[in-house]
Amino acid sequence: MSKQIKVSIQHLYKIFGDDPQTALEQVKGGMGKTELLDQTNHVLGLQDINVEMADGEITVIMGLSGSGKSTLIRHLNRLIEPTAGQIMVDGDDVMSFGPEALRKLRRERMSMVFQKFALLPHRTVLENAATPLLVRGFNRQEALEEGRKWLDRVGLQGNHNQHPHQLSGGMQQRVGIARALTSNSDIMLMDEAFSALDPLIRTDMQDLLLELQTELNKTIVFITHDLDEALKLADHLVILKDGYIVQQGEPQEILLNPNDPYIIDFISDINRARVLRVRSVMDRDTSDADACVAEVDADANLESLIALSNGDTNLSYRVVKDDQLLGVLHMQELVRALVPTGAAEDGVRGKQ
């Protein structure tokens, strides 16, 4: 399954301070974040970031606050200028863009959804949703028509003429998403888009996003500090810490083979049975497929399988996807996968 690379970031550095270029040399020479701050009073924002984002996938960038994730996403449309590095979108070098080309990129190829919604408070919901097209100078009627379409699509049929402050947080963010969709860009940047919402609404919005994604196949870059959210949405997960990438890859892969105590810490709290999928723990050897009691979908999570088996660990299941036999799942393997990664003792938190 080789997908086309839509956005690629190579060797991206961001250093905040008066003289970032000198500081950059020091960082490349191996100086760490704390030393740099102590000795030169420069803040190392991002350090040697290399990420490739495939077309039509959701790339989730996860990290705690201060890890540089919001800085990173703002480099994609150059709201923040990098100190060094390359950003390619559809093979075009974004760093070579002049102001006009950059504006065109922001107008037509990338849209953004913000943590604090950032709607225009003096405009109606409909005008807000139509903003990207109005900015591009579309005929007003046409723009509003498009805005109306997307507002309806995100479930805001009756609120077109209200002002943003009359809506709840969840509804405001729906407007934010509608606004991003109206621009009809291939790439959507979502900066902690659901972090300001309460948990139930957040789940709703995640479902909405996944539903929209199956239909629209956008390239989505999603920032979050919430691992559950990251695992739910991600096709490709990038974990940031102090400005560098700790690990990136398929979420299941990271979950089963974490390579850093920081990540082990992160994943020690989650419900593995709900997050892990059958395809990640199955046995690809299909020779004893006949001994299986039933068929299960490759993307089903382990929790559903435990329910299906009623807790009987002697059973095995055929794993299928699109009517194709992929492997066999032994319940014993499943239980083994549920064993925590020995987090607490090795991890940072365990030492405290």
Partner 1 sequence: MATYDFIFDGLGLRQWCGEDTKTTMSMSDLLAQRKGAAEPSIWELPFPSLDNLNDACPAIMQTRGLTSGLEDGFLGIRDSLRVVVDPITQPLSWFLNGALELFQTVPWFIMIPLMLAVVFVASKSWKLVALVGSFILFLAFIDHYDYSMQTLAIIFVCSVLCVLLGVPIGIAMSRSNALQRGIIPVLDMLQTLPPFVYLIPLIFLFSVTEPKLYGIAIILYAIVPVIRLTDLGIRLVDKDVIEAADAFGMTDRQKLYKVQIPLALPNIMAGVNQTIMMSLAMVVIASLVSAPGLGVLVLRGIRNLELGVGLVAGLGIVLLAIILDRVTKAALARVNTSQQQ
Binding site for partner 1 (CB under 8 A): 77, 79, 103-108, 110-112, 114, 116-122, 131-132, 135-136, 163, 165, 179, 183, 189
Shorter beta-carbon distance to partner 1: residue 118 or 326: 118
Shorter beta-carbon distance to partner 1: residue 54 or 105: 105
Shorter beta-carbon distance to partner 1: residue 131 or 280: 131
Shorter beta-carbon distance to partner 1: residue 108 or 228: 108
Q: How far is the CB of 120 from partner 1 (least distance, A)?
A: 6
Q: How far is the CB of 110 from partner 1 (least distance, A)?
A: 8
Residue 339: partners with Cβ closer than 8 Å, 6 or more residues away: none
Residue 214 token pair: 């199956």
Shorter beta-carbon distance to partner 1: residue 192 or 242: 192
- Sign of the four-CA dihedral 233, 207, 172, 102: positive
Q: How far is the CB of 116 from partner 1 (least distance, A)?
A: 5
Q: How far is the CB of 112 from partner 1 (least distance, A)?
A: 4
Rounded alpha-carbon distances, angstroms, from residue 193 to 63, 92, 202: 14, 27, 9
Residue 271: partners with Cβ closer than 8 Å, 6 or more residues away: 303
Q: Which secondary-structure segment (H or E) carries 152?
A: helix 140-153
Q: How far is the CB of 162 from partner 1 (least distance, A)?
A: 12
Q: Which amino acid is at 89?
A: V
Rounded alpha-carbon distances, angstroms, from residue 217 to 88, 203, 233, 285: 20, 20, 13, 33
